Every structure is written in C-alpha cells, then in structure tokens.
Structure 1
C-alpha cells in the first residue's frame, strides 16, 4: 500500500513540473519533495513568473489584433463579391435593353484591345530583334579553312607572313624549330635549327629574305632564307635542282645564324623589326625590352619599367614607335621619332596579363588580355579606350590587317574578326574536320590581292583561312 501511495505522489509531482506550476502548486507538494522543486530562489522564480505573464499579455494583444484584421478582411471580401455580382447584373440588364449599342461598344473595345496587343507585340519583337542582332555579325564576311600545315612536333607559339614574298609564311614552335611554308604548294620549304630552346616568335624583314626569331635560350637570331627564293618563284620549272621526285620543293635546313643577340638573361618571348629594317626589338621575361642594331648587334637602348615579365612587343609599320605588353596588366608605348627625346605612355585598363598590343595604320593601339577582353586605344588620348570588347575566353596574340580588321584568337579555339571601331565582322567556323583542336595561340594576315588569314595553335597545326569581305566593307576602307 505504501508503494502505491508513493507512486501516486511521484506521478502528481511530475504533472506539476510539466504544467509550469506556480508557487501554490509547489506548496501542495510534500516537504520531502518540495526541497527538490524549489532549486531557484523565490526572488528569481517570481521574476520569471512576471516575465511569462508579460509575454502572455503581449501575445494576447497580438492575437486580438489578428482576429480584428481577419474580420475586416472577411467584410471587405463580402463587399467585393456583392459589388461584382451587382456589376454583372447591371451589365446583363444593359445587354438585354440595348443589344445593338452593346455590340458596337464591344467591337470598339475589342479593336482597341487588339491594337494594344499588336503594339506590345511590335515593341517586344523590335527589342528582341535588337538584342539578337547584337550577337550577329554586322557584315556578310565569308570565312572558310582552305589549307592545313603539319610538321611541328610540339605546340606552335607564333606565325608570320613574309612581306618580300607573300607566298611564304613562317612558324615558331616549342620543338625548338622555326619552319617556312609555301602557301601555293602547302609544303615545308625550310627549317631553322639554330636555337637551343623553344622558338617563341618569328618575324620577317620588311625588304630582305631575312628572318628574326626569339627563343627560350635567351637569344634572338637573324638568319637568311634566300635559298627558298628559287623554291617559291620557280615552281613551274620541272628541272629545278631544289625538288624531289614528286615535284615538291625540298625543305632547306638552316643552322647558322647571321647574327645572335644575347641581350637578355631570361627567355625572349617576342621580337619585331622596326620600320627602317636596320633595328629590331626584343621582349623578355627579365622585364626588359632591348632595341638592337641588326648590323653591329649592339644594344642601342634597354627599355625598362614593367613590374612583371613581358609577353609581347610590336613595332609601328610607319613610325619609329614600339609597344610592349606585360603580365603586370599594362602596356607601354615608346616613341623614338625624336632622336633626343623618347617618350613613354603607359596603357592601363586591363585587370590581368596583357597578352599582346599592336599598332594600327590609323594611329590606334589594340591590346588583348587574359581578362577576356580587347581594348582599342587612340594614341592621342590614352586615358580611356575608344572601345572595349569582352569575350568568354582569354585572348592571345592578335593581328591587325591593313584594312584595319582585327583577328582575335582565343583559348577556347574560337577565332573572331572585329574592326578597329569595335564592330563585329565574323566568327571563323569551328568543326572537327578542319579547325583547331586546342588553344589558338596567334594569328596573322597575308596581305595580297586576295587577303587570307593564318592561325596557329597548341595542336601543332597551322591553318590558312580564306576571308571574303563584301564590296561595301572594302569600299569603306
């Protein structure tokens, strides 16, 4: 009996604890259990009870306001329903009394509604067409791949076209070789073996059968390709000495340079001839560019100022000017037109490494960057670019034609054409049959009666593209 009575008392105690009992409930407990339930001092326990009562009061006020809002909403809904039903009945009565006038009124409303709908459709269609047209080429430029050159054993860094003989192009590869190719036959007509490192750049002399190459062995070599003159000019003679049994031009091997310039302490990544053909400039990872005399191999001037390794260098085709680009997200234009004064203009606008910067014939500079953009600058005012074009992939070494058309090679294998005003002209087709399979590293134009485009990539391929401009576009240039 005592055990049963004890269980009843314990159950009563648990019930009190679950129900947030007050002091009167605790006082109802036996003395032996009251000490266990009164752990908190009376002052704190009273304070807690007051706080809970305040919370309950506030909750009651909110609950009352909520109920009043519900009643108001219900009344408004009933009033709205009654108004809708009354309007429907009045409209039905008007329709019954005046069928003719109602039909005319309905026709007018329908006509106005249709006109509004048509206006909205026209506006939407116009806006959409403008949006879509911004993704389309503004000119009907036809591009197609017509030729593919293979022969390098590693990725190709650079490609260039000979100005003396537009049938000859050159390529610089990481396989430590520079090769010469004939556009008419598609054959390799010469290979230069003089470098001990990756050949990073190749440029042709503006007036002579001389090539300039820059290499990772920290040197720049000048070598002649005079022996290819017969191979490119006498293709129709069947008894020429420089031919094999199939009638194709034999490749000449060039091993000894006419001159070797060792003006850098790090790999030389780019080079270019100045407009006089007597001097050339080199760019290196040692953060400097060197202006060199090609006859004496003497360094005329060392150009410094970049904070990080250089990536590209280019010379103006008409003036004694040089532009260098660097990984420090800037490019520097050096003006040597005044013998005693040499000015430098720093171009700032990119957020990542500037991969290349080249001059145009209309006194502009076009810069490309790993920040997925190209920018077009006016040499007279370099504070802000004339145009800024963003893409979906980093841009590598660009090329500009005499018609002021920019070719833009990308990391994602895309090749785009823009003019120097920032207007898109075309995008070269990309397919698995005849196009680049990997990064497109560089591009150049072949300036002749029918201009063509040469691109190279890390897939060891060189591709010749036929580019046909519409007469309207040619007349503007």
Structure 2
C-alpha cells in the first residue's frame, strides 16, 4: 500500500490535509488479454507500407526544400493576453518577492474557490503599450521590405530596358548580316557563272602549253642531234684525211656507243630497242656508210672519269653473320633520345668513319651530333625551305643536302660554309646520294627527273628521264656505278651512272613508292610505298622475292643492316618495324610520338638511329 496526502474541506470552508492509502499496482496481478490479429490488416499488401514511406519521404523533401529557400517562414505564434493573477505573479517573480507571491497565491486561489472575486477583477490585463510597440515594429519591417522590393523592382526595370535595347541591336545586326550573306551568295553565284565561261579557254591554253613544252623538248633534242652530227662529220673528215680507214672505223664505233648511252636526254624504250638493233648489225668499214648521228658529246675539260666498276665491295669482308640484335635476347631497346630540331626530322646520315650523325629538318637547317652523347657539333643554315635528305662524302669531310627550295648544296666542314649550290632542278629535291669515289652526286626531284652532278666541273653530267611522276629517292650502290631510284609512278628502276641508261625496272607496287635501297651485297633491293607495302626484289631476275604489308600507314624509308638479314622500316604510325628476311617476322620499336621519317643502321649493326616528326632522334641498341 502506498501512502498519499489528500485534501479535505471542513465545515468552516478551510482546507485540511489527511492521510490516505492507495493500493499498489503490480504487473504480476494484471490480467493481460490477447488481442486477436485483424485478418484484414494482416492481408494488406506491402504496397501500402511502401506508399506510406514514400509519402513521408516526399514530405521531408518538401520541408527541406522549404528550409533551403531564401526566406524561412517562421511558425505561427498565438499570443495570449496576460490575466491579472499572471501579471501579479510575474511582477512578484521579477522583483524577487517569493514569500509575498506564496501568500498572494494562497489568498487568490482561496477567494476564487469561494467565489468572492468579481468577474471584472479576474479579467485580462490590457497591454496597449506592448501591442503598440509590436505594431510599430511590424510597420517598420513592412516599410523596410517595401523599400527593398522597390529597389529590386527598379533594378529589374533597368535590366529589362537594357536587355530590350540589346535585343533590338542584335536583331538589327542579324538582319544586316543576313543581308550581307545573301549579297555574298549572289556574288559567288555570279562569279561561278562568270568563271565557268573561262573553263574551256583554260583547257585549250593548258593543251597549247603542253604541246609547246613537247615541241620545245623535241627542238632541244633536234639541236643536240644536229650538234652531234656536225661533230661526227668533223671527226669523219679528220679520219679520212689521216688515211687510216680501219682505225677511223673503230673510233667511230666507240663514239656511236657513247652517243647512244651518254646523251643528256633520258632513255626511252624505243631508243633502247633501236640502240640494240644498231649494235647487233655488222658495221661496215666504209666511212660513207657510218651513222654520223652517233657521236660523243663535247666534254668539259674538268669532267671527272667514272671509276672502273669492278663489282667488289671491300666492306663485305667485315660482315660476320647476322646482326648482333638477332642473337641477343630482347632485340633493340631505346637508349638515347636527342631533341634535335624545332620541326620534323626528315633525314639522317651516319659519318663513314666517326660516331657522328647528321640530321636535316623542316626548319630549313641541318645539324651534326656526337652519338650517343647527343652533343651538337655544327649547324648549317642556308636553305630557304625544308631540307629533305643528306649524305656524307666518303671521306667524311663534306655533306650534301637536298631541299624543297629546288637546290642541292655542298657543305665543307673545314670552311664551315656552303661551297657550291646546284640549281637546275625545277621543283623540290627529295633525295641525294654521294658516289663512293667522291666525285659525283646524284639527286632526285619532284620534276620527274634525276641528275648526276660532277664536282670537278660543277655541272650536270646526266639527266635521268624515264619516270612519269615525282622521283622520291635515289642511292648509289656502294663501290659501283649503279643507281637505284623509286618514283610516285609505282616503279623502281636501276640506272647506269656512266651512261644515264635505265637498265632494269621493277613493276609490282600499287601505290607511290616512297623509298628504295640495296643490301650491302647489292643483289637485293627493298622498296616501300605509301600504303605500307614493302617488297624485296632480286636484282638479277627483276622478280619479287618477298612482300610484307605493314600498313595501312605509309612506310617512309627502309634500311638493311650490314648482314642483309634484317630490314628496318620507318612507319607513319610512329614505330620502326623490324622485318627479318629469313623468317618473315615483323616486330615493332615503339618510342616516337609521331611519324618516323628516316632510319639507318650502324655499319657494325650495334645500333639503329631513327628520326621522326616529333622533332627527336632516337638511338636503339
């Protein structure tokens, strides 16, 4: 049982306290009644629960969005006026008169229970001053909001006026641009119609120009033939006057052959057939029956003599088998990188005796580097356009460069300057090569010709005509008078440098041939074209030995190692591809960031050098 205090009102109306007992609550004595599960509630689907959860989530999201607003709406507050007792009580609490407040509450509640308090005595206390202050504050707040909204409205008005002016201006500008565009379209249509009337005239002028160039070339050939006839007649008269018929006949026969093979004009198939027929006919000893047109050209007193072509290459004795990287695990690896030029590196050449590399670039310069350290030795400036190729003199004392400015320049290292410039090409010069003897240079050009230059007489000895499109590369077979050229007309040709005669032509490429080269033995030719097709040719049979497709990116240059067992291919996809001739396997050397334009092996096969459009030269060993 628990004790509790209760109140009792006596007869005199006073309150008395008395003790009362309450029964204690015990959980054990309480009778629980099992509530049955409502079948309807149990059978409700889970969808109602999901819908309720979703509704709660949406309400929370709405509340969060409302709280994130610019102005938060305060919750409504209901102000209740103070009653008289609350007013007195608050006053007493504020003044700290707690005993007085106790006496006041006792008397107040007692009088209220007895009903001795009048209704007007317990009314609410009027708070006019507080109400007036609240209304003043509200008025001030509303006025402040009103001023703020007025300022915002004025700013919006100014922005609207500004945007309307800009809209009108842009609309007028658009109309003006449309009018100008329509006017330009009309002018272009009139110009197209006007120039369409000139097209037949241009075609006629082009045909007349081509006919004039052909007539000019034929006239030049006729002139050279007439000069040769005069020279032959003079030689015949001298031989007749000397009275030596037999020796004269023999001398004339040699001159006839030199004339057929050494004329400045390039060979044609019909000319070759006529020459063979003429050489196969028995010659008459009578000078009156001689063909006086087959006489030697006038020689320059400073002309060089081509060395005797023995066919022996002394470098073959130093080759001792396949390249070193074939017997080494992992093959070539990138060891050094040289930041060579400010533009693409288009050609490279190794010094014949020293560890020196020459590079040429689209930045109109050539440079020499010490390898593998990458220290710069010399820089050459003088070309007015990109430099495409270079080659060292066999002694290593000079360098020849070919450029897009249609010139071939010879640079002397001892004088540190350009000592001569050949300017007879009509278009950009793609390639150059030095003869092993050091007295001749061969160059090829976009004007469809190749030229052989004599360094003693400083003149063009032969112009090789036969290709019908740009000649893209040219190279001398070492220790030989044989030249190899390739052209955009999809052919590769072999020439005799002593006569300027085309000896063999290789047919098989379907696209422009970018480069061709010999192996060291000279019995195999490798060529690559603009679609990545690489072919190996047998020089004796003119038949293809092998073919590999490393496309679709163009193959820019090829180079054999010293043993001829590996072919390096510079590809436009930024890699140098290594083709093993025996097995036909192809591997990639990746390192360049752009197209690889040139590649060459060291004579010993210890390292490989490549140049790229990323302006760098990389050494692989």
* TM-score past 0.5 threshold: yes
Structure 1 residues 402 and 210, CA, compared in 2 at 3 Å: closer, same or farther?
A: same
2:404 pairs with 1:216: yes
Aligned-pair distance for 1:278? 1.0
1:415-444 deviation per Cα after TM superposition (whole angstroms, max 9, x unaligned): 11124446326422x2xxxx2100001101
Aligned-pair distance for 1:139? 8.4
Structure 1 residues 186 and 301, CA, compared in 2 at 3 Å: closer, same or farther?
A: same
Q: In the alignment, which residue of structure 2 is the partner of 1:387?
A: 546
Alignment partner for residue 259 of structure 1, among 399, 403, 420? 420
Structure 2 counterparts to residues 247-396 of structure 1, below 5 A? 254=416, 256-336=417-497, 339=498, 342-362=501-521, 363-382=523-542, 384-392=543-551, 393-396=553-556
1:339-382 deviation per Cα after TM superposition (whole angstroms, max 9, x unaligned): 56834211111111101011112311101111221100011011
Aligned-pair distance for 1:401? 2.0
Structure 1 residues 340 and 176, CA, compared in 2 at 3 Å: closer, same or farther?
A: closer
- CA separation in 2, counterparts of 1:257 and 1:340? 29
Query: Residue 139 of structure 1 contacts residue 426 of structure 1 at CA under 8 Å; is this kept in 2?
Result: no
Higher helix share: 2
- CA separation in 2, counterparts of 1:299 and 1:394? 33
Q: In the alignment, which residue of structure 1 is the partner of 2:262?
A: none
- CA separation in 1, counterparts of 2:385 and 2:500? 36
Q: In the alignment, which residue of structure 2 is the partner of 1:196?
A: 384
SS in structure 1 opposite 2:544? coil
Q: In the alignment, which residue of structure 1 is the partner of 2:364?
A: 176
1:222-263 deviation per Cα after TM superposition (whole angstroms, max 9, x unaligned): 112248xxxxxxxxxxxxxxxxxxxxxxxxxx4x31111112
2:401 pairs with 1:401: no
- CA separation in 2, counterparts of 1:184 and 1:389? 32
Aligned-pair distance for 1:138? 11
Q: In the alignment, which residue of structure 2 is the partner of 1:230?
A: none
Structure 1 residues 300 and 185, CA, compared in 2 at 3 Å: closer, same or farther?
A: same
Query: Residue 283 of structure 1 contacts residue 290 of structure 1 at CA under 8 Å; is this kept in 2?
Result: yes
Structure 1 residues 422 and 205, CA, compared in 2 at 3 Å: closer, same or farther?
A: farther
1:273-330 deviation per Cα after TM superposition (whole angstroms, max 9, x unaligned): 1222210100000000001112222111000111111111111013111111111111
1:189-237 deviation per Cα after TM superposition (whole angstroms, max 9, x unaligned): 111102111111011111231101001111111112248xxxxxxxxxx
2:593 pairs with 1:437: yes
Task: Give the gaps of 5 or more residues in structure 2.
Answer: 1-325
- CA separation in 2, counterparts of 1:302 and 1:149? 38
Structure 2 counterparts to residues 235-246 of structure 1, below 5 A? none
Task: Give the gaps of 5 or more residues in structure 1.
Answer: 1-136, 228-253, 467-477
Q: In the alignment, which residue of structure 2 is the partner of 1:240?
A: none
Q: In the alignment, which residue of structure 1 is the partner of 2:136?
A: none
Structure 2 counterparts to residues 97-108 of structure 1, below 5 A? none
Structure 2 counterparts to residues 442-453 of structure 1, below 5 A? 442-448=598-604, 451-453=606-608
Alignment partner for residue 349 of structure 2, among 152, 155, 160? 160
- CA separation in 1, counterparts of 2:583 and 2:515? 17
Runs (4+) off by over 3 Å: 137-141, 339-343, 419-422
2:619 pairs with 1:460: no
- CA separation in 2, counterparts of 1:146 and 1:263? 42
- CA separation in 2, counterparts of 1:141 and 1:307? 44
Query: Residue 171 of structure 1 contacts residue 179 of structure 1 at CA under 8 Å; is this kept in 2?
Result: yes
- CA separation in 1, counterparts of 2:369 and 2:400? 16
Q: In the alignment, which residue of structure 1 is the partner of 2:305?
A: none
- CA separation in 2, counterparts of 1:459 and 1:207? 31
Q: How many residues align?
A: 293
Query: Residue 389 of structure 1 contacts residue 422 of structure 1 at CA under 8 Å; is this kept in 2?
Result: no
1:371-426 deviation per Cα after TM superposition (whole angstroms, max 9, x unaligned): 221100011011x3000111132211111121212111111112111244463264
Structure 1 residues 224 and 427, CA, compared in 2 at 3 Å: closer, same or farther?
A: same
Q: Which structure has the larger Rg?
A: 2
- CA separation in 2, counterparts of 1:139 and 1:190? 35
Structure 1 residues 343 and 267, CA, compared in 2 at 3 Å: closer, same or farther?
A: closer
Query: Residue 334 of structure 1 contacts residue 343 of structure 1 at CA under 8 Å; is this kept in 2?
Result: yes
Aligned-pair distance for 1:462? 0.5
Q: In the alignment, which residue of structure 1 is the partner of 2:577?
A: 416
Aligned-pair distance for 1:335? 2.5
TM-score (norm 1): 0.59
TM-score (norm 2): 0.45
- CA separation in 1, counterparts of 2:560 and 2:588? 15
Aligned-pair distance for 1:140? 4.6
Structure 1 residues 386 and 146, CA, compared in 2 at 3 Å: closer, same or farther?
A: same
SS in structure 2 opposite 1:172? strand
Aligned-pair distance for 1:163? 0.3
Q: In the alignment, which residue of structure 2 is the partner of 1:9?
A: none
